[in-house]
Amino acid sequence: MTGSTTPRADRVSYVSANEVAERAGVSRSAVSRTFSGAGSVAPATRRKVLKAAEELGYHANLLARGLVGEPSRIVCLIAADVGQPYHSAMIDKVTRQLQLHGKVAMMINTAGDDDSVSQALRQSLHFRAEASVVLSGSPPAKLVQSCLSNGQRVVLVNRDDDAEGAERIRIDNATACREALALLRRAGCKRLACVSSQARTSSMTTRESAFAAAAAEIGVEIDVVRVGPTSYDTGQEAARVLLGRSNPPDGVFCVTDLLAFGFIDAARTIFGVEIPRDLCVIGFDDVPQARWSGYELTTFRQPMDEMVARIAEILTSDTSGSDSAFEALPVWRKTVRMG
């Protein structure tokens, strides 16, 4: 790295409504009224105020506005693994949707463990956020209560929590996973396996157990491998483990697209298997890469737009303890033979 700097100009403080008022020759309240939209103000005064504000470079202080009791317009977004496709897609949509509703996202990047989620929720409280949207980790019920009792909205996305009074948004993993099994069976797969993650989030565990349960019902036994976190590398490692066996599976359900990509790549590169001829693979989430022609992954699509729309709805409505479930729909691409 190369660089250059020059000494910094002195910090100047923001211009206040008072100064604008003075310059415009009106009262502070007139300024307030022009910018907040409440109350009435004569067109002439309004013009004077606007002119003065422009000249002075005035920007209303939302912090102060929030202090008086107005909603802060801040919504806290609590997420981990922001770099991963699923999370970043979600964040993209949520932030946009919030802005559409005149709110702004305060993003807190947690490590995913419950302690940092607690910290995040505390930040949310400190900044008097109107709401907290939890995309990762599972916050302690007590802290959620604290947010709730302070008038915050708390939206839990795909988390399994006992937090009373929080709003829940989740996709119906169980149904989708049963369907995954059916898809593989219909494709004629005999030896089934499930590639999961060591991360014990509710999505991971319910997907894996629903798949296993569905298999048990029809009397077939499946392997479940968990060799690392929810990542591409873990998918690869799982392929090494499963396909290295004397009796490798011919149908694999990966609880996440990312795992599936790793699995597919290792299967092709290391074991030379052809997909879907020798091996069928199903993923989950339908991240953008799933449609790349290097994969064309058959997977399940989370109706993200609808979920995000529902979040916005919750934030602007007046209910509590709502519970919305969304269906994940299969996206047929090319990693499973047609039945």
Closest separation between CB of residue 213 and DNA, Å? 49
Residue 55 within binding range of a copy of itself, rule CB under 8 A:
no
Closest separation between CB of residue 125 and DNA, Å? 10
Select the binding partner of residue 75 from DNA, a copy of itself, none (C-beta < 5 to 8 A, by kind): none
Q: For the residues of 119-152, what is the DSSP string, one character each?
A: HHHHHHHHTT-SEEEE-SS---HHHHHHHHHTT-
Residue 67 within binding range of a copy of itself, rule CB under 8 A:
yes
Phi-psi region of 73 (alpha: psi -120 to 50; beta: other; left: phi over 0): left
Cβ atoms of residues 17 and 32 within 8 Å: yes
Residue 118 within binding range of a copy of itself, rule CB under 8 A:
no
Stretch that binds a copy of itself, among 73-81, 203-211, 212-220, 272-280 (CB under 8 A): 73-81
Residue 36 within binding range of DNA, rule CB under 7 A:
yes
Cβ atoms of residues 172 and 328 within 8 Å: yes
Helices 85-100 and 257-271 meet at what angle, rounded to 10? 150
Site string for DNA, 58-77 (x = CB under 7 A): xxxx--xx-xxxx-------
Q: Among residues 41 and 157, whose Cβ is nearest to DNA?
A: 41
Closest separation between CB of residue 287 and DNA, Å? 41
Site string for a copy of itself, 176-215 (x = CB under 8 A): ----------------------------------------
Residue 124 within binding range of DNA, rule CB under 7 A:
no
Distance CA 213, CA 89 (A): 30
64, β-bridge pairs: none
**Residue 22: enclosing H or E segment and its boundaries?**
helix 17-24
Closest separation between CB of residue 320 and a copy of itself, Å? 4
Distance CA 244, CA 299 (A): 24
Site string for DNA, 6-25 (x = CB under 7 A): -------xx-xxx------x
Buried b (16+ CB within 10 A) or exposed e, 291-326: eeeebbbbbbbbebeebbebbbebbeeeeeeeebeb
Closest separation between CB of residue 158 and a copy of itself, Å? 14
Region 151-170 residues binding a copy of itself, contact defined as CB under 8 A: 151, 165
Question: At residue 267, what is the residue type?
Answer: A
Extract the tokens encoding 203. Answer: 């999505």
Binding site for DNA (CB under 7 A): 13-14, 16-18, 25-30, 32-33, 35-36, 38-42, 44-46, 58-61, 64-65, 67-70
